[in-house]
Chain A
Amino acid sequence: MRFVDEYRDPAAARALVRRIATLSNGKRFAFMEVCGGHTHTIYRHGIEHLLPDGVELVHGPGCPVCVIPMGRIDDAIAVAEQPGVLFTTFGDMMRVPGSSGSLLDAKARGADVRFVYSPLDALRLAVDNPGREVVFFAVGFETTAPSTAVTLRRAKAEGVSNFSVFCNHVTIVPPIKAILDSPDLRLDGFLGPGHVSTVIGQRPYRFVAEQYGKPLVTAGFEPLDILQAVEMLLVQCAAGRADVENQYTRCVVEEGNPRALAIMAEVFALRPHFEWRGLGFISQSALRLADAYADFDAERRFAVPGVRVADPKACQCGEVLKGVIKPWQCKVFGTACTPETPIGTCMVSSEGACAAYYNFGRLHREAALSVGARA
């Protein structure tokens, strides 16, 4: 559904921007887009520059690569470098730096690290290489977790004993709650994630409106989707309402995907707590393999260091992920930290706020002036 020009009609965009300006009426509003895909769209199309000065988009923790702490990368590398291991992951993870390099560096050192498009591809590798231990580095929100669950169920059914999963799946609701509980909260509403919501539906977000009095609008990924979602948020704010609404009706339904939720409940269990880069430990915010699938758990099959590693001092990914600072306000943005040589995870994935800003937003006048002043 991406890259459709009709969703980018300039006339429609201008009309929506005018309506947004009218609704905001000179007041200040800050809305957080939770999803990395939204961040990418916003920067790529310059949407934040179209909005009135008072309407700010804050970039949230919705890039699953960006929130993986360095210690988990070190654990992955430790598994990948064990003899006989064929380590697989999505391409996003290859360049994420741990404390002693990335998986790409481990590959250069001789580890057999390959990127795959689907966990099912990793399972196929296990079937085709019975003499190797194939490990899949599972990462992602509820959009991706069902695919890992399907793969594990198939591995179990087919008795593929040389396949395991290093599980780093995270869930979207706890970080939203953590952000809402933050003492320096300055948000007026949320743009809810699009394809995560095809799985979990709309109901899990109700607490945002009911308990915190903030509106949330699930949005699609095209520029007009984003603008319309902002408009829907402003309509709620203007009316003093706080509801959960769905702009992305062409894909998202209220109840989500019940089958996907059922298989996730079968294959995964909630971790008591999990560290999020920049956000710290968040209760019940990540998934591990359920006991019935313990044989496929790479953390049980291999010795992993499990050491917590602090982020580089210069890196301010945490503040970026919480929306406290903009990417270009980080001390190393665009100088020591670039997409080619990332220091923080936000610069790694093209959907990370820093990389998106570097690739598409860095010529913005204000940012350019700021970077120039520091240089």
Chain B
Amino acid sequence: MSVGTAAQSAAGPAGALDAERGAAGAGGLPPGFGVDVAGAALALARRFAHGGTLWCFAPAWPAHAHHVAVEFVHPVVVGTRALPAVAVSAEAGVAGLRTLCRAGDALVVVASSEEPAARRALARAPAWGLTTIWIGAGPRPAPGAADHVLWWEGEVPSQAAHTGRFVLSYHLLWELTHVCFEHPGLLEEPQVCSGPACVTCGDEGRLVEVLRLGEGGAVLVRAATGLEWADASLVEGVSPGSLVLVHAGSVLTVLAEGSGE
């Protein structure tokens, strides 16, 4: 008898995805890209429709963050509405995003899957209540790294940043977002839970970010539903910025160490 890990099934969902995406896509787009960008646009339109703001972050290529924001704020097609979008500088980084965003917003990141600041921001975004879209090239990020991944596999990230791949991606995202606004029936958020307190039966574990340490093992955390206090006396190594799982008011496990930001 041995105790194995997911590594034994090394291909896993990502490997399965690779196999599934083997066929070429239309119009020079990566295989499956059309479905991906349509899903991302619908999610983004729903966030805008409910008052959300789009935050744009491209730590290695800040011009792309500015470009994404300006596309949404200044629509070039007559009759399309201006949508709230803001570029966040690399200097502001994760700390800036944490301060600016609020639950119900969206985050578009343009970066390779190896970009540390992008990974930190995207790992924390669910705890902040954001919908996330990751545009990039090169090795694909692991499943779950973002809600929606628009990816140019097989391309070198630094080249894709200058060949128009990313620009095409967010132009399509912008255009399709406005297509969604032409169909108001699509913009209602789907109901995802039938009850407010299915804590025990769902074996719930909510992803939250630690904001500060309190007294007696208490920590103030930021969840998608707002700020709350939790007990962290069952785990070690909790600090501001830590990503943790909370169940019934107690921190069960630490998923990522805090950066002290």
Contact = CB atoms under 8 A, between A and B. Distances in A.
A141 B143 contact: no
Interface in A210-264: 210, 221-222, 224, 227-228, 231-232, 235, 242-247, 249-251, 253-254, 257, 259-260, 263
Interface in B181-229: 192-205, 207, 216-217
B175 interface: no
A349 B202 CA distance: 9
B233 interface: yes
A108 interface: no
Contacts of B252: 143, 146, 195, 198-199, 257, 260
Given A6-B149, A121-B249, A257-B253, A202 B200 contact: no
Contacts of A119: 248-249
A92 interface: yes
Contacts of A359: 194
Contact of A351 (B126, B145, B201): B201
A6 B15 CA distance: 14
A195 B245 contact: yes
Given A243-B3, A246-B6, A91 B197 contact: yes
A114 B202 CA distance: 20
Interface in A241-292: 242-247, 249-251, 253-254, 257, 259-260, 263
Contact of B202 (A154, A206, A224, A351): A351
A232 B9 contact: yes
A206 B1 CA distance: 8
A91 to B, nearest CB: 3
B201 A63 contact: yes
B192 A120 contact: no
A249 B6 contact: yes
A202 B13 CA distance: 22
Interface in A22-59: 35-37, 40
Contacts of B217: 150
A6 B144 contact: yes
Interface in A129-172: 139-141, 143-144, 146-147, 150, 154
Nearest to A118: B249
Nearest to B197: A91
A71 interface: no
Given A6-B149, A140-B200, A91 B195 contact: yes
A209 B1 contact: yes
Interface stretch (A9-17, A293-301, A312-320, A329-337): A9-17
Interface string B135-153: 0000000011111110000
A60 interface: no
A344 interface: no
Interface stretch (B17-25, B97-105, B158-166): B17-25
B250 A118 contact: yes
B4 A246 contact: yes
B216 A154 contact: yes
A60 to B, nearest CB: 12
Nearest to A10: B35
Given A150-B233, A206-B3, A260-B234, A65 B13 contact: no
A350 B126 CA distance: 23
Nearest to B231: A150
B199 A249 contact: no
B9 A92 contact: no
Interface in B34-49: 35, 39, 43
B39 A5 contact: yes
Contacts of B168: none
Contacts of A36: 201-203
Nearest to B250: A147
Nearest to A17: B16
Contact of B13 (A209, A221, A228, A244): A228
8 contacts: A15-B17, A15-B19, A37-B202, A37-B204, A63-B201, A91-B197, A194-B205, A249-B5
Interface of B: 1-9, 12-14, 16-17, 19-21, 32, 35, 39, 43, 126, 143-149, 192-205, 207, 216-217, 231, 233-236, 245, 247-250, 252-253, 255
Given A115-B197, A350-B195, 13 more contacts: A7-B143, A7-B144, A16-B13, A65-B201, A92-B199, A117-B197, A118-B250, A196-B203, A203-B3, A244-B3, A245-B3, A257-B235, A260-B252
